[in-house]
């Protein structure tokens, strides 16, 4: 019988196993505006190569600015998302379109001590909130980016950040 090996983060052969068990919380604007939904979709698609994305619906082009339809209302959405946030090993947020929900999720993620990557597109013509840019620290990364840099930035982030699974 083949002996069971311990999965080690430094071993490149173990990378696919590690990424399967890595849970990613992706945050992006919904009721704040869906202008960048195509970018959220690309990010979700790319993030799937690094783990399981718990919040794939954020990148769904069919989801409108009204948000999800829930029988028990917004409390169900809020409680489910906080559960996912708690379960997640890492948080990635696209923060270009200002969103109360994304800001709230990021604040909660900081309190939960999750590693966070925020992505901001400066060509939108707005300045990112100081409460996001100013939160920069060892566990909170803020990157200005262009859509064609997504792959490189995610690669860098996932290879350089300590993510506990």
Ligand X SMILES: O=c1[nH]c(=O)n([C@H]2C[C@H](O)[C@@H](COP(=O)(O)O)O2)cc1CO
Q: CA of 79: how far to CAs of 63, 85, 86, 158, in Å? A: 19, 10, 11, 27
Choose between 5 and 76: whose C-beta lies nearer to ligand X. 76
* Diameter over CA atoms, the chain: 61
CB distance 128 to 103 below 8 Å: no
Q: H-helix or E-strand containing 26?
A: strand 23-27
- Please give the residues from 105 up to 164 whose contact with ligand X meets the rule CB under 6 A: 105
- Annotated binding-site residues for substrate read 40, 105, 129-131
Instruction: Compute the distance between CA of residue 49 and CA of residue 45 in angstroms, rounded to an integer.
Output: 8
Binding string, 22-41, against ligand X, x = CB under 6 A? -----xxxxxx---------
CB of 41 to ligand X, least distance (A): 14
Q: Decide if residue 68 touches ligand X (CB under 6 A).
A: yes
CB of 99 to ligand X, least distance (A): 3
- Strand partners of residue 27: 93
Choose between 12 and 73: whose C-beta lies nearer to ligand X. 73
Binding region for ligand X (CB under 6 A): 27-32, 55, 58, 67-68, 77, 81, 99-102, 105
């Amino acid at each position: 019988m083949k002996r069971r090996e311990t999965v080690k983060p430094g071993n490149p052969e173990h990378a696919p196993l590690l990424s399967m068990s890595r849970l990613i919380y992706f945050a992006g604007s919904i009721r704040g505006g869906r202008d960048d939904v195509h970018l959220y979709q690309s990010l979700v698609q790319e993030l799937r190569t690094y783990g399981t994305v718990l919040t794939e619906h954020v990148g769904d082009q069919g989801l409108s600015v009204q948000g999800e339809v829930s029988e028990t209302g917004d409390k169900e959405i809020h409680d489910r998302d906080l559960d996912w946030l708690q379960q997640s090993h890492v948080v990635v947020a696209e923060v270009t379109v200002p969103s109360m929900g994304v800001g709230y999720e990021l604040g909660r993620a900081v309190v939960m001590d999750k590693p966070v990557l925020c992505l901001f597109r400066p060509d939108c013509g707005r300045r990112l909130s100081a409460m996001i840019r100013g939160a920069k620290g060892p566990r909170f990364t803020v990157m200005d980016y262009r859509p064609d840099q997504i792959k490189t930035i995610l690669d860098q982030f996932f290879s350089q950040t300590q993510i506990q699974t």
